[in-house]
Amino acid sequence: MKSLEELIGEHPLLAGFAPAHLALVAGCGSNTHYGPGEFLCRAGQPAQHFFLIRRGTVALELEIPGRGPFRFSTVTAGDVVGWSWLIPPYEWQFDARVLEDVSAIRFDGACLRGKCDADPALGYALMKAFAGVLVKRFMETRLQLIDVYGRRD
Amino acid sequence: MTVPSLLTTADLDRLIRMLADGGYTCVGPALRDGAIVYDEIGGVADLPAGWTDVQDAGRYRLERRGDGALFGYNVGAHSWKKYLFPPAEQLWRIPRATDTIRPLTPPQHPVRHAFIGVRGCDLAAIGIQGRVFGHGEHGDGRYAARRDAAFVVAVNCTMAGGTCFCTSMGTGPAAGPGYDLALTELVDADRHGFVVDAGSERGAALLERLACPAAGDAEIADARARVDETAGRMGRTLATDGLREVLLRQLDSPHWDEVGERCLACANCTLVCPTCFCSSVEDVSDLDGSHAERWRRWDSCFNPGFSHIHGGEVRNSTGARYRQWLTHKLATWHDQFGTSGCVGCGRCVTWCPVGIDLTAEAARLREREDSA
Amino acid sequence: MAAATERACGTSPLLPHAWRVAEAWRETGDVVTLALEPAAGDGACDWQPGQFNMLYAFGVGEVPISVSGGTSRRLLHTIREVGPVTRALGALAPGSIVGLRGPFGTAWPLREARGRDLVIAAGGIGLAPLRALIDTVCRERDAFGQVAVLYGTRSPADQLYGPDLDRWRRAGLQVEMTVDHADVDWRGPVGVVTSLVRRVRSDGQRTTAFLCGPEIMMRFMARELEQAGVADSHVWVSLERNMQCATGHCGHCQLGPVFVCADGPVFAWQHVRRLLTVRAL
């Protein structure tokens, strides 16, 4: 069985991280499983974690009063759930609901922030990795906004 | 190589009548509504004798010359393209039937035109449009058929207009290949004649039938000198060296929108241009729905709807449309057809209602690049 | 004219020929597929995936529609109803006659992609010009490595060719679909089609990509593929412009130096990428 360090080193988010940094990150992580209908996080709650998805599917949703949940994205193996742990006020902005059995590595945000503060090189590497995730989400959201397939008549 | 002949005005008249007798519909310059246009002519009497034109950006006026020259002016708003690429042409007409569409080609009455007074720039333009319509896997044979049927009497220019720049484009003032006959008008106080040169077998045959005397060395030299002198008197110039590359590097320049502020998108430049070839098709049916027709009509890249795709216009500003026209004419035409799309006739400059000058805009884009 | 005698679908590229609607069925709320057969006994159209025909609705007008499948004597055209002509075509009942000119334009260069992995990405109605290509790949499955079909639409109700998607999966293709918008009943992925690239298992260096969809979608898809290591010389796109004559003479479909109708619609990304980033070219 692979060690947690090996597992996270294979994840696209942390590809290219120095072994020493991987060890530090792994120290804040643990394997976890969720069944369909369970929530990885809920909007408004303290964002204490983020997740590297290894298997399964998660829907990112926002509850709209009177309309029900609006699903703006789904994520799957190789994706990341959660950036709110990194940026104050450390509060989830959306719901992450499991659609298909999820295996993930869950990281303790406070633990990682402490290590980043102590080792700015690690902090910079993680910040760059998360910036990449955010930029991709942002670009995809822009594309959704353009509504490229919509009718124009 | 035949020896050039020397024709009098009366000989030229005979030449036109011989062409008409030979089945050609003769068209040439004629005075209409204060301008020199191309229209059907019966003989020398229909030519604008003694008139000239004064041209500048956005300006065209006729004036008296003070002599009897028959070709003492430059090009007007018309070009020969209206005969070879008609402004409106039926492509087909079909009856409605429940079981089939049986396309009918329109009745073909090929008109054989004799063009009297084709300038070097316009002869080059006819060659360019021939390449355009012959281009690609599915060439449009109608243009070639009309062109091949046409008899071309060219005129070597002995005066340059205010918006002329054929020397920059290498198309004049002497007419290049493609003519059947080329004449140079010699008009002075004491004589009026034409040195005429054959450029084809049928031209030479006609010249032989005219049985005019051979032009003398002095007359040939005089004619050549007048044309050479004209080359130095162009009203405009266009620096073509590396121009394609300059323009293609400037696609994102703010200059296009600056021109777009002045341009009215009236499409005059494209209609008077002897090489512009864009067209639209219009599908129509008669009121009882028993027949449908397709017509091809001249269109312009300045017209709204020209670049329409689902959702709207690709070229959604006048600046973008001007850029399309100018870069097509002077740059991407080379990629498509191996030549410039501009022959230096100056019509687009003269007939622009706000006087936008292609030569000036091209120069400005070059300057902007140099100063960047 | 030499060209006239070589026509596959008629005697002149300018004259429409009669084809009969053999079948017509609705794919989605505003998309119809017509199956056309020659009205005259000897009619045929030797098309290749990626090429298009000009379809004429009597007295209304003519539109370019890619061939989405069939044979030389049974042509499938999938039409989105967005204007008067496409609506007239979409309303035709079996037995009706349409005028057809074609085929025109360039085909997907599938032969050059043999032995390579394929990413075939479509957005919306863009699956139609790729459908016949995917069918060919299925028939010659062993000639290619990993093959992924990535398909994005606005909503689940806009997805075309449901039975074909299942068929392609059974033929060993990786078929991934996503929608931009969905309600919570939708079990599949939500997100733009570019987000599917990270699910592709093939090696970027060995991959040829065929893209068709809205221009913006193709631009971002090409960028995503490049980041995954696919060379721009191995990315092919199908462009849309105002095609009227389909022979490169009317000027409407020009994009810089190219006539999209005759030089395209299928282009190597490396040849058009610069042109597509110039505003309003």
Q: Look at residue B104 in the predicted model and tell me its pLDDT.
A: 58
Among chain A residues, the shortest Cα distance to C219 is held by A143
| Closest residue on chain B to C275 (Cα) | B251
Q: Is B309 on the interface with A (CB under 8 A)?
A: no
Residue B157 lies in a domain: yes
Beta carbons of C190 and A71 less than 8 Å apart: yes
Q: Which residues contact B369 (CB under 8 A, 6 or more apart)?
A: B246, B249, B250
* pLDDT of C198 above 60: yes
Judging contacts by C-beta atoms under 8 Å, the chain C residues touching residue B99 are 39, 97
Q: Which helix (H) or strand (E) holds C72?
A: none
Bridge partner list, B27 = B40, B115
CA distances from B108 to B84, B86, B91, B145, B367 (A): 14, 14, 11, 11, 51
Do B15 and B143 belong together in one domain?
Answer: yes
| Residue A90 pLDDT > 90 | yes
Residue A153 within any structural domain of the chain:
no
Out of A74, A150, A152, name the one closest to residue C154 (CB).
Answer: A150
Closest approach of C47 to chain A, Cα-based (Å) = 27
Residue C185 is predicted with a pLDDT of: 82
Which residues of A fall within a CB distance of 8 Å from C214? 148-149
DSSP state, C190? B
Q: Where are the beta strands (DSSP E) in chain B?
A: 5-8, 25-32, 35-40, 51-56, 59-64, 88-95, 113-118, 151-155, 181-187, 192-198, 279-285, 291-298, 308-309, 312-313
Structure tokens at C16: 């429409």
Q: Which of residues 293-352 of B touch C (CB under 8 A)?
A: 296, 299, 301, 306-310, 314-317, 320, 323-324, 327-328, 332, 335-336
A151: tokens are 């009718």
Looking at the fold, whether B336 and B220 belong to one and the same domain comes out as no
- The residues, any chain, with a CB within 8 Å of residue A7's CB and separated by 6 or more, are A31, A54, A105
Do B182 and B254 belong to one domain? Answer: no
Quick check: C280 and B316 CB within 8 A? yes
What class, spelled out in words, does domain C2-104 have in CATH? mainly beta
Contacts of B25 by beta carbon, 8 Å cutoff, 6+ apart = B40, B111, B112, B113, B114
Q: What is the DSSP letter of B331?
A: I
Listed range (A92-101, A117-126, B86-95, B167-176) with the worst mean pLDDT = B86-95
| Host domain of residue A115 | 4-146
The pair of structure tokens assigned to A42 is: 């809920």
Residue C77 scores a pLDDT above 90: yes
pLDDT 10s digits, C227-264: 999 999 999 999 999 999 999 999 999 999 999 999 99
Among A101, A141, A143, A145, which would you mutate to test the C interface (most chain C Cβ atoms within 10 Å of its Cβ)? A143
Residue C265: asked if its preceding bond is cis (omega within 30°), the reply is: yes
Q: CATH number for the domain including A82? A: 2.60.120.10
Give the pLDDT score at C9.
Answer: 47
Question: What interface predicted TM-score (ipTM) does this complex get?
Answer: 0.91
Q: Is residue A43 a part of any domain in this protein?
A: yes
SS3 of B147-167: the string is HHHCEEEEECCCCCCCCCCHH
Tally of domains within chain A: 1
| Torsion A62-A68-A72-A74 (CA) sign | positive
Q: What is the pLDDT of residue B277?
A: 97
B316 Cβ contact partners less than 8 Å away, ≥ 6 residues apart:
C280
Residue A73 lies in a domain: yes
Mutation target to probe the C interface, by most C beta carbons within 10 A, among B94, B96, B138 is B138
Same domain for B187 and B47, yes or no, is yes
Q: B309 to chain C, minimum CA–CA distance in Å?
A: 6
Q: Quick one: B50 and B154 in the same domain?
A: yes
Residues in C touching B270 (Cβ below 8 Å): none
Residue B193 lies in a domain: yes
Segments forming the whole domain that contains residue B101: 5-87+96-231
Rounded CA-CA distance C130/B200 in Å is 53
- Do residues B190 and B255 both lie within one domain? no
Measure the CA–CA gap between C134 and C122, rounded to whole angstroms: 11
Q: Could you tell me which residue, A4 or B322, shows the higher pLDDT?
A: B322
The tens place of each residue's pLDDT in chain B, 372 residues long, gives 578 999 999 999 999 999 999 999 999 999 999 999 999 999 999 999 999 999 999 999 999 999 999 999 999 999 999 999 999 998 888 887 655 566 656 556 678 999 999 999 999 999 999 999 998 888 888 899 999 999 999 999 999 999 999 999 999 999 999 999 999 999 998 899 999 999 999 999 999 999 999 999 999 999 999 999 999 999 999 999 999 999 999 999 999 999 999 999 999 999 999 999 999 999 888 888 788 889 999 999 999 899 998 888 999 999 999 999 999 999 999 999 999 999 999 999 999 999 999 999 999 999 998 887
Nearest CA among B315, B174, B202 for reference residue C252: B315
Inside any domain, residue A152: no
Which residues of chain C make contact with B315, given a CB cutoff of 8 A?
280-281
Chains A, B: CB pairs < 8 Å: 4
Query: How large is the average pLDDT for residues A9-34?
Result: 93
- Distance of alpha carbon B327 from alpha carbon A113, whole angstroms: 56
Q: Give chain B's radius of gyration (CA, Å).
A: 22
Same domain, B180 and B125: yes
Cβ pair A148:C216 closer than 8 A: yes
Identity of residue C223: R
Q: Whole-prediction pTM value?
A: 0.92
pLDDT tens readout for residues C99-139: 999 999 999 999 999 999 999 999 999 999 999 999 999 99
Take residue C92 and report the two structure tokens written for it: 């035709």
Q: Among all residues of chain B, which has the CA nearest to that of C256?
A: B332
Residue recorded with tokens 């990150």: A25
Topology of C111-276 in CATH? Rossmann fold (3.40.50)
Residues C163-172: what's their mean pLDDT? 96
Which pLDDT score, from 0 to 100, does residue C7 have?
Answer: 40
Residues of chain C with CATH 2.40.30.10: 2-104
Q: How confident is the model at residue C5 (pLDDT cuts 50, 70, 90)?
A: very low
Question: Do B185 and B272 belong together in one domain?
Answer: no
Residue A135 CB burial class (10 angstroms; 0-12, 13-18, ≥19) = exposed
Within chain C, all domains assigned CATH 3.40.50.80 are found at: 111-276
Instruction: Name the residue of chain C whose CA is nearest to A67's CA.
Output: C183
Long-range residue pairs from B302-306, CB within 8 A, at least 24 positions apart, any chain: B302/B263, B302/B265, B302/B266, B302/B267, B302/B269, B302/B270, B303/B265, B303/B267, B306/B278, B306/B280, B306/C242, B306/C252
Q: Say if residue B199 is in the same domain as residue B333.
A: no
User: Are B258 and B315 in a shared domain?
Assistant: yes
Our count of domains for chain B comes to: 2
Same domain, B77 and B205: yes
How far does the CA of residue B310 sit from the closest CA of chain A (Å)?
Answer: 7
Question: Is there a single domain that holds both residue B103 and residue B34?
Answer: yes
Q: Supply the pLDDT for residue C187.
A: 84
Cα–Cα distance for residue pair C20/C17, rounded to 1 Å: 10
pLDDT confidence of residue B100: 59
